[in-house]
Chains A and B, each alone.
Chain A
Amino acid sequence: MNNYFGYQGVILRVNLSDGKISKEPLNLEDGVKFIGGRGLGTKILFDEVDPKIDPLSIDNKVIFATGPLSGTATPTGGRYMVITKSPLTGTVASSNSGGFWGAELKLAGYDAVIIEGKSEKPVYLNIADDVVTLEDASGIWGNLVDETTTKLENIHGEKARIATIGPAGEKLSKISGVMNERGRAAGRSGVGAVLGSKNFKAIVVRGTNKVNIKEPDKLKGAFSNSMTKIRENGVTGQGLPAYGTAVLVNIINEHGALPTNNFQESHFDLAEAISGETLAEKYLKKKDPCYRCPIGCGRYCEADYAKGAGPEYETIWGYGSNCGVSDLGAIIKANYWCNEYGLDTISAATTIAAAMELYQKGYIKKEDLDGGPELVWGNADAIIEWTKRMGEGNGLGALMAEGSYRLCENFGVSELSMSVKKQEMPAYDPRGIQGIGLNYATSNRGGCHVRGYMISPEILGLPQPLDRFATEGKAEWTKIFQDFTAAIDSVGLCLFTSFALGADDYADLYNAVCGTTLSGNDFIEHGERVWNLERLFNLKAGIDPSQDTLPKRLLEDPISSGPSKGWLSKLSETLPLYYKERGWTENGLPTDEKLESLGIKEYK
């Protein structure tokens, strides 16, 4: 029993170079200021890692961080974040995952684990409450994720929770992630490669402790209130439980904003075949919810040999319409191989789409394919086989495993990479949805939808409808969504709760657990602090504001058909307003005044 509330008060440090494992007290002031999870992890990274380092060098560190609500009786308290410097983007990376692993780490007694240095031989970390050891990983190095997980479960028991990299991370693929419970991914920005560069395979964790709650009665009330809102909300109470995220395929396609053939089109005639409705009808076997989740959007699907978690909307889009593929069974198989090799499905799928455009335009030639399936639009065999070749790092697959930007740059046409800051954009064409484009351009980890999910107001009408084509108001809303999300990622809950919960609800949960007195506005301001800290890290890393942009295609080529025909991204209108809204200079630099008010001036 420790003296903390919400926090466990312990940060675990593992130095792989000398094998030393130490436990350090959490400075509670850091918790108060940066909450936990994404915020605390970014603070540790900034304190300990020079932003200018090579991300795959021994100097980089990887921080697995939970939030103060992780492992508590709050809805969706199982999230964790992986924070490091990204080898894909050169920015700060903070990849979020669900499942059960994050809660297990917290219940083992840790707010965060810092992995530093480099091991001479492959190792993994075993955490059983306060007993922590580094173990030989030679027997699992090179194994796929399922095999790795099974072997570790056989050694440490079925109750152990396992987060591991796959062969893609071992081979330093810049689009590799960390997988937990086989099918959950801290997928984006190449965090798996940083662990691979350290000869570090996995963390096995078993936790049997509790988290101290400051005001249990107050928490019961806040919990009950938030559960009622989640159950009564159409998205979290009905839509996501029934169809998962895949239901978005038809929604976004009907709006004419479903990127198709590497964003050359924005409407897919065969969308119904890859829709959430079709998934539920033909392939869904069961729901697969995370720790303490009342929403349960997770899916478990089967297509022949491919059995497991997913596919999510982003994956279906990436391998589906964006590659011109309408074979949902093949998409499930491609998703399966991403999970097995530990590849980020968004980046892997979108890189294949970029390769298809390179093939279409004659940059990649048939002789470059080493006998592999032709990279032509709609080729279902290609999405499966080229995913495996990326995972194995074979031939052209090795180049593709570097992500779409480096692939296209290799052929002298980097503009064909549909990425921001070298990270592939997700499944919404920003020409037909102006706010999400501003979010993509300004996201602190490059192309990403979950840094500021403007789809919520612009398409779903939550918390209020915004005209998706308009530019007015988008700067303000983008900032709020970005700051709000940074706070949710820091507290340790799932972003999907925000369809139903407002800032006051999160503050109530946080206050009851930690004994604090934050208002909803305070909660969002904490997120703003995290956002600005990430921005400062990126600026010091050399990612200048000129990179707050979108691929040329989205700024210059109007959508050619469908409901969004004729539209372009109007980023040149929204970006200056966004900088102003953030209280930054017109050149996109945080001002001393802003940093002073957020209490992070010393990081400038």
Chain B
Amino acid sequence: MKVTIKLFATLRIGRGKILKKEYPEGTIIRDIIRDLNIYEKDVAILLKNGISTKMDKEPADGDTLSIFPPIGGG
């Protein structure tokens, strides 16, 4: 399945802003986070197609993940 991954703030360093990746069926978000060398503790906001989701969920083909470190406040 093809997944678009949007990274923000410090998570972009050494990884880029938008990644287009392909993963085998059954891959859960936690696997993708590990594949990107991101520590789970550095993920504060996790969205699938703009809706809050969890690490153990499985994205579908064509989904977009947005991943933010602990940031924010305005």
Contact = CB atoms under 8 A, between A and B. Distances in A.
Interface of A: 233-236, 238-240, 242-243, 245, 247-248, 250-251, 254-256, 272, 276-277, 297, 312-314, 427, 449, 455-456, 459-461, 465, 467-468, 496, 499, 562-564
A242 B49 contact: no
A451 to B, nearest CB: 14
A547 to B, nearest CB: 25
Given A243-B9, A277-B8, A496 B73 contact: yes
B25 to A, nearest CB: 24
Nearest to B67: A254
Given A234-B71, A468-B52, 8 more contacts: A240-B71, A242-B9, A248-B74, A254-B47, A254-B66, A459-B45, A461-B45, A564-B50
B47 A465 contact: no
Given A254-B50, A461-B44, A467-B52, A276 B9 contact: yes
B24 interface: no
B28 to A, nearest CB: 19
Given A251-B8, A255-B50, A245 B45 contact: no
B40 to A, nearest CB: 13
B14 interface: no
Contact of B73 (A240, A467, A562, A563): A240
Nearest to A466: B52
A242 B71 CA distance: 9
Interface string B37-74: 00000001101011110000000000000101111111
Contact of A239 (B17, B47, B50, B71): B71
Q: How large is the interface on B (under 10, 10 to 19, 20 to 34, 35 or more residues)?
A: 20 to 34
A563 B49 contact: yes
Interface in B1-52: 6, 8-10, 12, 17, 44-45, 47, 49-52
Contacts of A240: 71-73
Given A465-B52, A563-B51, A277 B9 contact: yes
A455 B69 contact: no
Nearest to B41: A234
B9 A239 contact: yes
A255 B46 CA distance: 10
Contact of A234 (B8, B12, B69, B74): B69
A251 B50 contact: no
Nearest to A247: B71
A239 B70 contact: yes
A238 B74 contact: no
B23 to A, nearest CB: 21
11 contacts: A235-B70, A238-B70, A239-B70, A248-B73, A250-B8, A254-B6, A254-B68, A255-B50, A459-B45, A461-B45, A467-B52
A297 B73 CA distance: 9
Contacts of A276: 9
Most chain A CB inside 10 Å of its own CB: which residue of B6, B47, B49, B73: B73
Contacts of B17: 272
Contact of A562 (B10, B50, B71, B74): B50
Nearest to A255: B50
Nearest to B49: A563
Contact of A427 (B50, B73, B74): B74
Chain A contact residues: helix, strand, loop or mixed: helix
Nearest to A249: B74
A235 B6 CA distance: 20
Closest 10 CB pairs of A and B: A234-B70, A563-B50, A239-B71, A313-B74, A245-B74, A254-B66, A248-B74, A460-B72, A247-B71, A256-B50
Give the one of B17, B49, B74 with max A CB within 10 A: B74
Contacts of B70: 233-235, 238-239
A455 B47 contact: no
Contacts of A242: 9-10, 71
Contact of B72 (A247, A312, A449): A247
A563 B37 CA distance: 27
A251 B45 contact: yes
B12 A277 contact: yes
Nearest to A460: B72
Nearest to B66: A254
A100 B72 CA distance: 24
B66 to A, nearest CB: 4
Nearest to B10: A242
A499 B74 CA distance: 11
A236 to B, nearest CB: 8
Nearest to A565: B50
Contact of A314 (B12, B50, B74): B74
A234 to B, nearest CB: 2
A460 B74 contact: no
Contacts of A455: 72, 74
B3 to A, nearest CB: 15
Contacts of B44: 234, 460-461
Contacts of A460: 44-45, 72-73
Contacts of B45: 251, 459-461
Given A239-B9, A242-B10, A251 B71 contact: yes
Nearest to A563: B50
Nearest to A564: B50
Given A254-B50, A256-B50, A563-B51, A245 B73 contact: yes
A19 B48 CA distance: 63
B11 to A, nearest CB: 10
A242 to B, nearest CB: 7
B51 to A, nearest CB: 6
Contacts of A236: 73
A247 B9 contact: yes
Contacts of A235: 70-73
A410 to B, nearest CB: 31
Nearest to B51: A563
B72 A459 contact: yes
A276 B72 CA distance: 10
Of the candidates B45, B66, B71, the one having the most CB atoms from chain A within 10 angstroms of its own CB is B71
Interface centre among B10, B45, B71, B72 (most CB of A within 10 A): B72
Nearest to A426: B74
Contacts of B12: 277
A251 B68 contact: yes
